[in-house]
A and B are shown apart, each in its own frame.
With several copies, the nearest count.
Chain A
Amino acid sequence: METNQSISIKNLALSFGALDVLKDLNLDVGQGEFLVLLGSSGCGKSTLLNCIAGLLDVSDGQIFIGGRNVTWEEPSERGIGMVFQSYALYPQMTVAGNLSFGLKNAGLPKAEIEERVNRAAKVLQIEPLLSRKPAALSGGQRQRAAIGRALVRDADVFLFDEPLSNLDAKLRADLRVEIKQLHQKLSNTMIYVTHDQIEAMTLADRIAIMRGGQILQLASPNEIYNRPANKYVAEFIGSPTMNFFEGDIVGGDGLRFSTGDQFFPLEGYEFHNGTPVQGPAWFGIRPEHMVTGAEADTAAIRLNGSVELVEPLGSDTLARVAVAGRSLWVRMDGQALVRDGDSVTVGFDPARANLFDKSSENRI
């Protein structure tokens, strides 16, 4: 094992009876890295996390934590802390009790327990809540206490399973920042499962996009966002979702993408591995990479359409624009004054586009 791998998963497979949930999965997580597992419901994120934690017995493969093969070890011996979506606080114990129960059980001396609990409480700013029971806490406070319980374990690895999804938007944003700061402070390895792209984008050092028990792409948020490895990832990330045109990449003077009766020049597009390709393909462009108004006039590609629907978000305005029988989402400024039925010109830069092969759906 390379020593800078905190977690290393080799050929992991797991089945529930006939259902193969994880298939020959390999994953290396660096020391101190913040890895987010992102994927749609049922793709096996929690299952993977539970395997790492030792809560599920693997069907095949190996799991290393800190270079040690822990495949057969008990959860409590793996040096991990875990935080659950439903908090899973012990309801009849106070917060302090929740934090210290595992330590007491491990037979740590009283003074040390107290010290660790206080330290964790300080980090999470839940000192005033230590003597309350979970029922007397708000959602955010509960989740903080749950994180505290993982924290006191002084674990090398933290596992989070959708820790924020039971909270409302504002709290989620706050706690997201807190978790990020916590990670910066503690710098231990974290694996974080979520549905929420914003969380994934903001928290992760790397994001692993999962589908059907496999990892489709494992890369930095920036890479995932700007250079999705395939159409699934491209569609999955970003809201509103990426706009797609179906067509062909054709040669001629410079490569062009032909869709319907339109041709988009592809100058500036960075092909995957640098090799230009021809053939049936998808052309994708994100709503926020579309420009309107004056900017559109100077864009490399311009399309005329009319506004179908406007969603003013305050900070931005989303508009759905009908272009040649196709609806495109466009993000505009929050002050933009557009109305249903307005005709607009939208423009975009092919350098910002994403091209995917028609059959393999991989990036080209």
Chain B
Amino acid sequence: MAAATGPARWHRNLSAKIAAIPMITTALVVFIGGTAWTVLYSFTSSKLLPKEKFVGFAQYERLWSSSKWLISIENLAIYGAFSLIFSLLIGFVLAALLDQKIRFEDTFRTLLLYPFALSFIVTGLAWQWILNPDFGIQQVVRNLGWENFSFDPLYNPDIVIYGILIAGLWQGTGLIMCLMLAGLRGIDEDIWKAAKIDGIPMWKTYIFIIIPMMRGIFITAIVLIASGIIKVYDLVVAQTGGGPGIASEVPAKYVYDAMFLSQNLGQGFAASTMMLLTVIVIVVPWAYLEFGGKRRG
């Protein structure tokens, strides 16, 4: 009779472990390794090439005394907050409208989704043009007779980040809308019926009943939006190049500029490290709660 204990644990699920090698490698070598490397070199005075000349926190001191960085962070915060709120809001409202058993749903959905197929370069270019005060919307409205009409978000440092937001939302809300639509379709019909019998108005049903039921969708949507926000770069470069002045700088661009324009890798790495730190502080506890602990099925 065989012993009660089984064969060594490691070889159970062996295929799964082998199949997961690319993932494990990516996670460990690229993400963890790359991050560690970045953090390490953020303490050096590397210029064009990485060099192990350690300078302590000098790069960080410089980083935090740079007005460009401070503006970048402020912009990211504004852009991030508005982008998150409006993407979810607009995406949800559009999805709710499309979910009303309307005709031409496919057409509307396609129209709202197509910008997602276009790159940020394209998006930025198109909007840069439409928002150009000399021949875009401002000029068109002026030509219609409102001589004093002024709408030049990309050329006004105070509101330039909102100009970028317009294009960002245009590009990204379609996907969020699809997510939300999928979520709405997953809601039990009977919930709607119950609410109707309770006499709950439509908007209240959405806010108090349906939205809380769509937690999963909102999480996926937030991951998508938030990861996009942190990475926002192309859109800014294509629309304003960070301008006017440094009014629309963002952290990803700061990193890029520091590494490749200033040829100050150390500085770029220090900025990267700050970004990573923020991400880790926010995302890791959440991701662990969300995907880690519990077991399914």
Contact = CB atoms under 8 A, between A and B. Distances in A.
Interface of A: 11, 16-17, 50, 53-55, 57-58, 60-62, 69, 71-72, 74-77, 80-82, 84-93, 101-102, 105-106, 149, 153
Interface in B107-134: none
A53 B193 contact: yes
Contacts of A74: 196, 199
Contact of B198 (A54, A55, A62, A149): A149
B6 A72 contact: yes
Most interface-central of A85, A105, A106 (chain B CB within 10 A): A105
Given A84-B193, A85-B190, A149-B194, A105 B1 contact: no
Contacts of B193: 50, 53, 55, 75, 82, 84, 88
Top 10 nearest A-B pairs (CB, nearest first) are A76-B199, A102-B198, A88-B190, A92-B212, A88-B194, A84-B190, A72-B6, A75-B196, A75-B197, A69-B2
B224 interface: no
B4 A60 contact: yes
Contacts, number: 83
B188 A90 contact: no
B276 interface: no
Nearest to A55: B193
A62 B194 contact: no
B288 interface: no
Contacts of A76: 196-199
23 contacts: A17-B295, A50-B193, A62-B1, A62-B4, A69-B1, A69-B2, A71-B4, A74-B196, A75-B193, A76-B196, A81-B197, A84-B193, A86-B190, A87-B190, A89-B194, A90-B194, A91-B213, A92-B209, A92-B213, A93-B208, A101-B198, A101-B208, A153-B197
Contacts of A153: 197-198
A84 B194 contact: yes
A61 B3 CA distance: 9
A53 B197 contact: yes
B200 A86 contact: no
A85 B193 CA distance: 12
**Chain B interface size range:** 20 to 34
A88 B199 contact: no
B7 interface: yes
A57 B208 contact: no
Contacts of B7: 72
Interface in B191-214: 191, 193-201, 204, 208-209, 212-213
A149 B6 CA distance: 29
A71 B208 contact: no
B101 interface: no
B103 interface: no
Given A84-B190, A105-B204, A91 B199 contact: no
B29 to A, nearest CB: 31
A153 B199 CA distance: 11
Contact of A102 (B188, B200, B213): B200
A15 B131 CA distance: 51
Interface in B275-297: 295
Interface string B1-30: 110101100001000000000000000000
A296 B197 CA distance: 51
